[in-house]
């Protein structure tokens, strides 16, 4: 039994005589089922916890109660109908805002009772995350049930968002409430790329904090890439010679600290070492002979001979036996550091031109073999080799099955989970049709790095002083088009939330969709900007994969999300997560006055 936060006075009276919409609290993600009563508010007193003795549970409760005690949160954006406007052409309207009034309280909450069916459930793919939370009229206790401690953590997170300050420094829950909640998908995540630019442990923790608050549960960590190798490998200590500096290295101790911090918040870490493409730094310190094209020009100015999509080039030589010895040892060491039963081995963006720099592979192609045959050799050799080191579920980018240039020519095992990033619904459909489990990361909807322009230097495309298409208005590189961002435009929170990624799938195909991960590639990301580029847009994904983007009638609820995500952004900032603003603060304070359409049902037929 642990006690937290000072007691607050309890008195009796009704708060609301109206409907559930009267409450200010608006937790994100929206629970699957939440029903507010009308009997009146509760003051929140000194909360004691009655629950199984479990460190994750006790620590989660301590974080939640500390948060609402220290933040003393007053919701910054609350839901209300759009105000009435005078008919055109009169330019002004009549405000309909009313200050929320809190009266006396019908009871005082003093305890949290938690029942958990299985306290030993491991934090692995598919762990039950459901929970219920009940505050009955007249009760002094908050009743929580969950199948596992991870469901209970989510209950604490919801509680954290519905305990608010009444405006006079008193903590309250506004009305009796009944919540039955569970996620739609077992994979709900973001991707952090520390290979292009280093991301500090502090900022990794910050992303994990944002994830926990929004009930995301998978941190896909793209740890290394061609540009740098910031990862300590004791089997090959020379690999970190290709870190950007000695201070920009993830030691075993650092990795363990990040894994522990995430696990305490119910978050799995899915590590990725991208192979055999995107390979240069680190690997070449072990044996340059197992590398291809690392000294070539990446050739963007002569695309027919390009060896990579971006500098710097390099790929592992698939026909060199040393490749499998080294990758096997690296995988084995990392598999021991990351307890998750899944491991990502990359597999994207292989380029045939790069392998023209390998004598063995050039002879392979000269014998009539194809790029698909080469990729199949990697699949047939690398996957059994990895599984012999540590038998985990392997995740790969979709390219290995569906790339028009570098898909394997034969069978890729159906127990490999594929991450879909190209061609939106089409690739999701094709992969699930073929029986593969899929993680959705469609670039057209979920790439958080898109729309910031290009980053390669010495680029004459920007040296244009007048619009060459001024007459007809056709978009071009510097005028209305991507400006060097291959996946432009910027993916707004609405774009993310509106994605119906199971559209057109059969029931059987839908069962194969494991969820979604929003990647943030780091060519233009480091500690100074990562949180603003990640948050609060990732929270739109969080609700999409937790409870969906439609209401009980099947109508899209994107407009309903507006005030919820604006408030959540403020909550993130107050909690130490550097989330970017989505709109002028005027929009936050004046519900729906920044909508494009006054018709609140404009999205309902979408």
pLDDT tens across 455-470, in order? 999 999 999 999 999 9
For residue 448, which of 525, 503, 542 has the smallest C-alpha distance?
525
- Number of domain units in the chain: 2
Q: What is the pLDDT of residues 242-285, one digit of tens each?
A: 999 999 999 999 999 999 999 999 999 999 999 999 999 999 99
Q: Are residues 310 and 424 in the same domain?
A: yes
- pLDDT per residue as tens digits for the range 347-404: 999 999 999 999 999 999 999 999 999 999 999 999 999 999 999 999 999 999 999 9
Per the annotation, the verdict on 325 as an active-site residue is: no
Token digits for 560? 């309903």
Does any domain span residue 450? Answer: yes
> Mean of the pLDDT values across residues 425-445?
98
The single residue of 79, 248, 349, 560 carrying the catalytic annotation is 349
237 and 207 housed in the same domain: yes
| Cβ atoms < 10 Å from Cβ of 288 | 10
User: Distance between CA 36 and CA 162 in Å, rounded?
Assistant: 11
Determine, yes or no, domain membership for 477: no
pLDDT of residue 87: 83
Q: State residue 211's pLDDT score.
A: 98
Distance CA 515, CA 519 (A): 13
Is the peptide bond preceding residue 325 cis, with omega within 30 degrees of 0? no
CATH number for the domain harbouring residue 508: 3.20.20.80
| Average pLDDT of the residues of the chain | 93
Asked if the structure places residue 271 within a domain, the reply is yes
Q: Collapse the DSSP code of 21 into the 3-class scheme (helix H, G, I; strand E, B; otherwise coil) and give the result.
A: helix
**Residue 354 placed within a domain:** yes
For residues 45 and 559, the answer to whether their CB atoms sit within 8 Å is: no
Query: 181, 215, 232 — which closes off a domain?
Result: 181
284 and 414 in a single domain? The answer is: yes
The verdict on 450 and 400 lying in the same domain is yes
CATH number of 43's domain: 3.30.379.10
| Contact criterion met (CB below 8 Å) for 434 and 441 | no
The pLDDT of residue 47 is above 50: yes
d(CA 88, CA 82): 16
Q: Please spell the DSSP secondary structure of 314-342, one letter per residue.
A: -EE-TT-HHHHHHHHHHHHHHHHH---SE
Give me the pLDDT at residue 606, please: 57
Q: Where are the alpha helices (DSSP H) in 535-601?
A: 537-546, 558-574, 585-589
**138 and 237 housed in the same domain:** no
DSSP state, residue 180: E
Which pLDDT does position 477 carry in this prediction?
Answer: 94
Identify whether residues 450 and 539 lie together within a single domain.
yes
Q: What is the pLDDT of residues 222-236, one digit of tens each?
A: 999 999 999 999 999
How far separated are the first and last CA of the chain, in Å rounded? 50
Q: Are 544 and 499 in contact, with CB atoms under 8 Å apart?
A: yes
pLDDT at residue number 417: 98
- Identify whether 535 is part of a domain: yes
Residues 331, 226 share a domain? yes
The answer to whether the beta carbons of residues 563 and 582 sit under 8 Å apart is: no
Residues whose CB is less than 8 angstroms from the CB of residue 276 and which lie 6 or more positions away in sequence, other chains included: 315, 316, 317, 318, 323, 346, 347, 350, 378, 382
3-state secondary structure of 455: coil
According to the model, what pLDDT value does residue 22 have? 75
Cβ atoms 526, 199 nearer than 8 A: yes
- Total-model pTM: 0.94
Residue 118 inside a domain? The answer is yes
- Together in a domain, 225 and 120: no
Cα(24)–Cα(40) distance, rounded to whole angstroms? 13
Give me the mean pLDDT over the 506-519 stretch: 98
Same domain as 191, residue 175: no
pLDDT on residue 103: 66
**9 pLDDT above the threshold of 50:** no
DSSP E strands in 37-79: the ranges are: 42-50
Domain that holds residue 335: 187-455+488-589
Q: For residues 26-46, give the mean pLDDT.
A: 94
Q: What is the pLDDT of residues 194-205, one digit of tens each?
A: 999 999 999 999
Domain membership of residue 231 (yes or no) is: yes
Tally of CB atoms within 10 A around 185: 19
Considering the domain architecture, whether residues 308 and 429 belong to the same structural domain is answered as yes
Whether the Cβ atoms of residue 133 and residue 155 lie closer than 8 Å to each other: yes
Question: Taking 90 as the threshold, does the pLDDT of residue 303 lie above it?
Answer: no
pLDDT for 318 beyond 60: yes
Point out the domain boundary residue: 181, 210, 230: 181
150 and 243 belong to one structural domain = no
What would the 3-class secondary structure string for 138-156 be? CCCEEEEEECCHHHHHHHH
For residues 136 and 36, is the Cβ–Cβ distance under 8 A? Answer: no
Render pLDDT for 108-160 as a digit per residue (tens, 0 to 9): 999 999 999 999 999 999 999 999 999 999 999 999 999 999 999 999 999 99
Both 374 and 506 in one domain: the answer is yes
pLDDT tens, residue by residue, 408-418: 999 999 999 99
In this predicted model, what pLDDT tens digit does every residue of 48-105 receive, in sequence order?
A: 999 999 999 999 999 999 999 899 999 999 998 888 888 877 555 554 556 666 667 8
Q: What is the pLDDT of residue 176?
A: 96
Token pair 């994100």 is at which residue? 28
Q: Say if residues 516 and 421 touch (Cβ distance below 8 Å).
A: no
Does residue 335 form part of some domain?
yes
Residues present in the chain in total: 606
Strand partners, 35: 178
* 377 Ramachandran zone, left/alpha/beta (phi>0; psi -120 to 50): alpha
Q: Which of 181, 205, 235 is the last residue of a domain?
A: 181
């Amino acid at each position: 039994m642990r006690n937290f936060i000072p007691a607050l006075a309890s008195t009796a009276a009704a708060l609301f005589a109206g409907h559930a919409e009267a409450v200010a609290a608006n937790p994100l993600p929206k629970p699957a089922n939440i029903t507010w009563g009308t009997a009146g508010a509760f003051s929140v007193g000194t909360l004691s916890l009655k629950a199984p003795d479990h460190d994750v549970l006790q620590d989660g409760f301590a974080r939640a109660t500390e948060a609402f005690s220290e933040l003393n949160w007053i919701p910054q954006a609350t839901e209300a109908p759009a105000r009435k406007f005078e008919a055109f052409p009169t330019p002004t309207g009549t405000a309909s805002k009313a200050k929320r009034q809190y009266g006396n309280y019908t009871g005082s909450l003093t305890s949290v009772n938690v029942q958990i069916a299985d306290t030993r459930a491991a934090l692995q793919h598919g762990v039950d995350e459901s929970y219920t939370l009940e505050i009955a009229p007249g009760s002094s206790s908050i009743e929580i049930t969950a199948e596992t401690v991870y469901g209970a953590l989510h209950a604490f997170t919801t509680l954290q968002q519905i305990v608010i300050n009444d405006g006079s420094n008193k903590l309250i829950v506004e009305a009796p409430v009944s919540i039955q909640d569970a996620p739609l998908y077992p994979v709900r995540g973001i991707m952090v790329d520390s290979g292009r630019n280093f991301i500090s442990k502090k900022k990794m923790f910050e992303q994990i904090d944002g994830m926990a608050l929004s009930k995301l549960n998978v941190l896909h960590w793209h740890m290394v890439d061609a540009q740098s190798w910031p990862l300590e490998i004791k089997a090959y200590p020379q690999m970190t010679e290709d870190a950007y500096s000695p201070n920009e290295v993830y030691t075993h101790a650092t990795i363990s600290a990040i894994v522990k911090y995430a696990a305490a918040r119910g978050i799995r870490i899915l590590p990725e070492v991208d192979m055999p493409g995107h390979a240069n730094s680190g690997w070449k310190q072990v044996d340059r002979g197992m590398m291809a094209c690392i000294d070539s020009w990446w050739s963007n100015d002569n695309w027919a001979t390009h060896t990579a999509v971006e500098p710097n080039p390099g790929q592992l030589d698939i026909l060199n036996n040393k490749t499998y010895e080294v990758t096997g040892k690296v995988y084995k060491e990392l598999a021991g550091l990351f307890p998750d039963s899944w491991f990502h081995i990359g597999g994207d963006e292989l380029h045939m031109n790069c392998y023209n720099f390998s004598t063995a592979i050039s002879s392979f192609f000269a014998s009539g073999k194809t790029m698909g045959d080469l990729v199949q050799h990697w699949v047939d050799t690398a996957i059994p080799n990895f599984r012999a080191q540590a038998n985990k579920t392997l995740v790969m980018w979709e390219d290995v099955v569906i790339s028009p240039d570098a898909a394997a020519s034969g069978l890729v095992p159906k127990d490999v989970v594929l991450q879909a990033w190209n061609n939106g619904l089409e690739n999701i459909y094709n992969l699930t049709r073929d029986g593969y489990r899929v993680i959705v990361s469609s670039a057209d909807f979920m790439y958080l790095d898109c729309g910031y322009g290009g980053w390669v230097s010495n680029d004459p495309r920007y040296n244009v002083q007048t619009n060459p298409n001024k007459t007809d208005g056709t978009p071009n590189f510097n005028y209305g088009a991507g400006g060097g961002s291959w996946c432009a435009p910027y993916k707004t929170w609405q774009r993310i939330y509106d994605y119906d990624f199971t559209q057109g799938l059969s029931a059987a195909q839908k069962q194969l969709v494991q969820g979604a991960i929003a990647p943030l590639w780091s060519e233009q990301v480091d500690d100074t900007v990562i949180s603003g580029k990640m948050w609060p847009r990732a929270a739109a994904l969080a609700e999409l994969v937790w409870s969906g983007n439609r209401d009980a009638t099947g109508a899209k609820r994107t407009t309903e999300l507006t005030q919820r995500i604006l408030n959540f952004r403020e909550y993130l900032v107050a909690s130490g997560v550097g989330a970017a603003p989505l709109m002028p603060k005027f929009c936050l304070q004046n519900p729906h006055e920044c909508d494009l359409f006054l018709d609140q049902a404009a999205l309902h037929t979408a």
